[in-house]
Structure 1
Amino acid sequence: MKRLWSPVFLLLGLSGLGLAYKVLHSEDPEEEVELEDPELEAPVSAVPLYAQLAAAIPLVTINLTNFTGLISDKSAPHNENITYHFGFLESDLAMLSDKVSGYYTVLHEMLGEAGPTLCPRDKQSHIKECLMMATCLLQEHVPEDIEVAQYTTYMEVITAFVEIGWPVLKKGLLFEQLYPALHYDDVAPAQYQCDELQHPETPFGHPPANLLQMDAKAQRTFAMSKALSQASKQTHEVLDAHAKESADVDVTVQKLHQVWHPICKDLKCDHGNFWDLHFASHRQTTALMKLNSARHVRAEAQV
């Protein structure tokens, strides 16, 4: 996993910094600006907060991923480059807070006075939701300021960490001490959740009216997104029932095939082959990206 995601994080970091640089130097190239000192750099405030946040997201994800790997694998061989040693909850939580400190600095500026309350630096219970909150804030700048492809990559990386990495991180903390508060994850107020933000699109699964009139292909793409969302929900229900009822594996597999057969019929994939379905779903996401609908891309990334 580490080998797979490290290049992705690096590219994300470079793209985020590139976005900030592009915004900073987007003025008319023919307009001359006189500086007293030729080596004087533009102040940080010259870069819009959304661009700063875009640059901070991959960096905080790297920090949290590294923290997760270290706290969950204490049996790893000694590495002289790693001077910190896990094992004490209080100091580990302080280290965790340090890993999100820079990210929170930018996020607090974007959120204004509510920032420190919504995302306090010393409470791990807010980290998960504050990662997702950032994607909601960036969503407002797609596609005018941030390309849909870049936003989609942010969503994929953050969603993967929230769904896979975060539970592992919490398990590592709980292994050190069964502290009840570690089980709790804060939920942001409704006005800071993406579903409550104002967007030109209609709710997930229903394409904008102008696309309905203009492009039949767009209609099919949005309809498939709705179908994928429903199939994902049904899949979770089947798997939950399997765990709860200790159902026969063959019966569960058959139910999953029934759920995904209609999807693969349209996407032209093998409903019995996970990887075939996986790659087909990415082709669907690519088609959705071309429609410049950040809200729909977000919903599909979380399927």
Structure 2
Amino acid sequence: MRREQDTPMSARVPADVEKPDKIVFGLTARQAAILGATGLLLWGLYQATHTVVSPVVFTAVAIPIAGVAFAVVTLRRDGLALDAWLLAAWRQRRAPRRLVPADNVRGDTVPDAPAWVGIQAGPLPAPLRLPAEAISTEGAIDLGAQGTAHAAACSTVNFGLRTAGEQNSLIGGFSRWLHSLSGPVQIVVRAQRLDLEPYLDVLADEAGGLPHPALEQACLGHVDFLRELSRSRGLLRRHVTVVLRQPATGRHGRDTSAAQTVARRAQEAARALRGCEVVVAPLDGAQAHAVLGAAADPNGGPQATRAGTASGVVTARPDLRHLTPGDTAAEAAEDVEV
């Protein structure tokens, strides 16, 4: 009889498939360009100042500059090269802090307040720009210049209860899918609080229809156990979503080829992960919209109301413009129409 392996196997998967190639002295093209530009700048300064500045003085000034340039291209922080990290920090510093929904997402600014508003509220907020511009009925998410994405819901597998041989099979199938990837993929695991009360109410109501009293008692005992568990523990429900993205290839209009390609990749992922006992269901347009909405507003629900956008029209009656300082705020609010 063939024995199963005592310990599960491990599969080697590239950690960073988008890591840039090193071209010279262990440096990437960007790092070599930064160091080369710094060297040329220092050489040009030396040629321009060597007749009036002592070489010792120039060397004392040039060494710290060269050291800073070398540190910028070699050091890393938060998984990024220091030059990329500094560029991201500079962009984040210059980005507006206050963002609001706006209908004119193509515009650069939020419309100014009407002329009859006499209060200066300071700088206006910037319009909130979401990556997704449109969602087709088939579930293709248009990301504009970033291409097209497609989301698929995935089931989970209880890995800890499997034998070593079964775990080896699952790991092997998952690693084969990772090695077969030909484009950007993101695996999103989102946790949401689970409310068992609707389910428990239905279970308790249907317990009386069971064919034997012992089954009814067992069902009610299970309901009591779950209610106690819900009161004593914070129950969570996890949603696993695989998002596949295809970079844009067209320059104008919707990229239909990218949408078709990413949809085909979603079907290929469903077939590949089926061997890992993971059920992958590509999302259609309505389901993708619901997933994006839940990710943007985790605490919201289907009954949540949508606030007005910053570009909504605000009108007033003509007599509102002639309000005197003695008018109360309530009277002014009654005359405003949004």
What's the TM-score bracket when you normalise by the shorter of the two chains? under 0.3
TM-score, length-scaled by structure 1: 0.24
Higher strand residue share: 2
**Structure with the larger RCO, 1 or 2 (CA within 8 Å, 6+ apart):** 2
Structure number with bigger Rg: 2
More helix by share: 1
